[in-house]
Structure 1
Amino acid sequence: MPQDAPRVIAVVVTFNRLGLLRTLVDRLEQVPGLAEVLVVDNASTDGTGEWLAGLGGRVRARTLAENGGGARGFHDGLAWAVELEADLVWLMDDDGLPDPGCLARLLEETDLDFWGPLVVDEVEPSRLVFPIRLPGGTRVVHELADVERAATAGRIDGIVIPFNGVLVTRELVERIGLPRAEYFIWGDDHEYRLRAEAAGARIATVVDAQVRHPAVGSLGTPMMFGRTTYNHSPSDLKHYCMARNNLLNLREYKGWPHALAFVAKTVWFYTFTRPSPRRIGISLRAMYDGLRGDFTGHRKYLA
């Protein structure tokens, strides 16, 4: 990074959450050290485009011709920020709210390529919204206090939760490219982290920098007599994208044994844990589509 203060540009991806977006943009406009705020609107239908058109100052907006999901939003937004000569890009969804000092704390870390804050429950900030698997083992922690105890010099290296207030350097983007726009939702952020790791990026979570976020419920439904969990969602759209994209991520970064184990785990879950022949069908179709490079199948589940 440059020796002088880096040019930091925030990228916010939004879809039909105007109330949350207003609150976030208001917060970002007050953050010192932030050069610009770029909002990518995924063809919202709730008045978001009209509201954005009336903004000025450090805030710029683009409305996509159609809803491309978070993956398209972050792909286009990150490319836009690089075009505007950002040294660092601060990536976030519209439903998170960084603490006032979040960016300043993140910028204190100068030896990283891809790093971010903890994402805590907006109502119960002692709990994490997205649990963290601590490096070097299998322990998953859900409480802020557990993360703080595990931290060294205020951070945990090798772990980050994208794209919830993470910083990425321009150099890393130029080295590894942009997020996979075709993923639509679910797994695009994880794939980008895996790609960064494979490229040797320096990754960390800064535990005393925080983003407040609405609770998302349990991200893991117990299965196989409690020995493991499965990311079950009541949404067919989310499940289709998860099944398709997770299989591809596992095949690319872990190998076929892990990918096939995920197929078996999915079939088990919807045979024994939450019996649903229909979900088995959706899962297998999604996986088949991904393997043959078809990224259009999710469209049938769009409202």
Structure 2
Amino acid sequence: MRRPAIVIVTFKRQGLLAGLLESILGLTVAPWRVVVVDNENSHETARIVGEFSGRARALWGDTTDDLDAEGGADRVVYDPMGENTGGSGGFSEGVRRAHELGAEWFWVMDDDVAVEPDGLETLARWSEEAQAVMGLRRDFDDGHFFWQHRFWPRLAIYNPLSRDGWRPGERYKLCNALCFEGGFFSREVVDQIGLPDARFFIYLDDALYGYLASKVTPVYYVPDYVLSRRREVANQAVGSVRQLNSTSDMTRYYITRNRGYLARYFMLHGDYSAPGFALGTLLTFAKELCRILIVDRSHLVSGMRRLVAGHCEARRILHDPTWEPMPPLR
């Protein structure tokens, strides 16, 4: 595996970011680059990244034997943004910057995780047979984190019937989604499908990116833990492995609004169904109502207002004659 870049997006969580960077220093395989996109443009974040850069140089040295496209050798790249572009904008910028530098692989993650010591080494093995890989994650309590690895384009929702267990001898599952909390993909994929779509701001941008990746290459979901989540989130267990996590009213807006962007991409690939999309919207409202009533008990009125506002914006996006998809890079 040549030139693996870790792309991190951070915003006002310096303590968590410091923990993630500390875990990266424990990797058994050194990353070629670590690109930190700072949506806050904070002096404190710059200081933390600068300190990490010094420790990384002392541990691994510069990349003088493999210069980037600009002729640089710094292993750590700090990329402050002029405004908060959300996770979507941050990952779009981070992948763009790493791609511009010459990265061949991209391991993307938020600031509230920690990598497993052999995480990059494990992904490197999978890179020998797959162009896009999603590994397992541990939850903040060190238990297994359930991830729905299949998406239903016709309904524009995650498949609620996705199974979590692994059969004996099952090396991987094919999926049509990714998560930007540990997703791993090649330069070839980025070249063919373009950068992550910054217009999502937050939510569903990674599901879409995995969907687009699955159109050009098999996307593997593998039974190897590569990182763990480090931020505790209020939740309610649903069955033996699933859980319903708390969320904010802001996120609720993007949960329904970004369905409009999904629909536009699904139309391009012949996977859009108007009746299915309407049913998926109804199911989305039902799920979010359950989340409000069961987990976020004090947000009924404000939460429903944000869901409706997002839905109205999704309808506008669905009929916007000026909309264009993200272009491929080649």
Instruction: Give the TM interval when normalised to the shorter protein.
Output: 0.7 to 0.9
CA change 1:220–1:35 in 2 (3 A) is same
Matched residue SS, 1:163: coil
Q: Which is worse superposed, 17-26 or 236-245? A: 17-26
Q: Is the 8 A contact 2:233 2:245 kept in 1?
A: no
Q: How does 1:124-163 map to 2 (within 5 A)?
A: 124-125=142-143, 127-132=144-149, 139-141=161-163, 146-147=165-166, 149=167, 152-153=170-171, 155-158=172-175, 161-163=178-180
Deviation digits for residues 58-105 of structure 1 (CA, Å, limit 9, x no counterpart): 211111011111000100000011111111111111111121011111
Bigger proportion of residues as strand: 1
Which residue does the alignment assign to 2:136?
118
Residue 282, structure 1, aligned to residue 300, structure 2: no
Letter in 2 for 1:244: R
Matched residue SS, 1:123: coil
TM-score by length of 1: 0.78
Please tell me the root mean square deviation across aligned C-alpha atoms, in Å: 3.4
Matched residue SS, 1:262: helix
| Matching residue within 192, 213, 221 for 1:205 | 221
Aligned equivalents of 1:246, 1:150: Cα separation in 2 = 36
CA change 1:27–1:236 in 2 (3 A) is same
Matched residue SS, 2:258: helix
Q: Is the 8 A contact 1:120 1:213 kept in 2?
A: yes
Unaligned runs of 5+ in 2: 58-74, 153-158, 267-271, 294-298, 321-330
Residue 97, structure 1, aligned to residue 97, structure 2: no
Q: Is the 8 A contact 2:189 2:216 kept in 1?
A: no
Residue 168, structure 1, aligned to residue 185, structure 2: yes
Q: Is the 8 A contact 1:91 1:165 kept in 2?
A: yes
| Matching residue within 109, 123, 127 for 1:106 | 123
CA change 1:25–1:103 in 2 (3 A) is same
Query: How big is the shift at 1:44?
Result: 5.2
Letter in 1 for 2:36: V
TM-score by length of 2: 0.72
Which residue does the alignment assign to 2:88?
71
Aligned equivalents of 1:247, 1:138: Cα separation in 2 = 20
| Matching residue within 222, 225, 239 for 2:252 | 239
Residue 292, structure 1, aligned to residue 309, structure 2: no
Aligned equivalents of 1:23, 1:271: Cα separation in 2 = 34
Query: How big is the shift at 1:113?
Result: 1.5
Query: How big is the shift at 1:281?
Result: 3.4
Quick one: higher RCO (CA 8 Å, sep 6+), 1 or 2?
A: 2
Deviation digits for residues 142-174 of structure 1 (CA, Å, limit 9, x no counterpart): 6xxx23x36623x22326541122211101101
Which residue does the alignment assign to 1:259?
277
Query: How big is the shift at 1:250?
Result: 4.5
Query: How big is the shift at 1:267?
Result: 5.1
CA change 1:202–1:7 in 2 (3 A) is same
Aligned equivalents of 1:161, 1:237: Cα separation in 2 = 22
Query: How big is the shift at 1:49?
Result: 3.0
Q: Which is worse superposed, 43-52 or 62-71? A: 43-52
Q: Which is worse superposed, 261-270 or 32-41? A: 261-270
CA change 1:64–1:178 in 2 (3 A) is same
Residue 177, structure 1, aligned to residue 194, structure 2: yes
Residue 16, structure 1, aligned to residue 12, structure 2: yes
Matched residue SS, 2:138: strand
Aligned equivalents of 2:207, 2:169: Cα separation in 1 = 22
Deviation digits for residues 17-48 of structure 1 (CA, Å, limit 9, x no counterpart): 11111121122234324111110011155822
Aligned equivalents of 2:238, 2:248: Cα separation in 1 = 14
Query: How big is the shift at 1:271?
Result: 7.6
Q: In the comparison of the two structures, how many residue pairs are matched?
A: 277
Letter in 2 for 1:291: R
Query: How big is the shift at 1:132?
Result: 4.7
Q: Is the 8 A contact 1:8 1:87 kept in 2?
A: yes
Unaligned runs of 5+ in 1: 223-228, 296-303
Q: How does 1:78-89 map to 2 (within 5 A)?
A: 78-89=95-106
Letter in 2 for 1:246: R
Q: How does 1:218-233 map to 2 (within 5 A)?
A: 218=235, 233=246
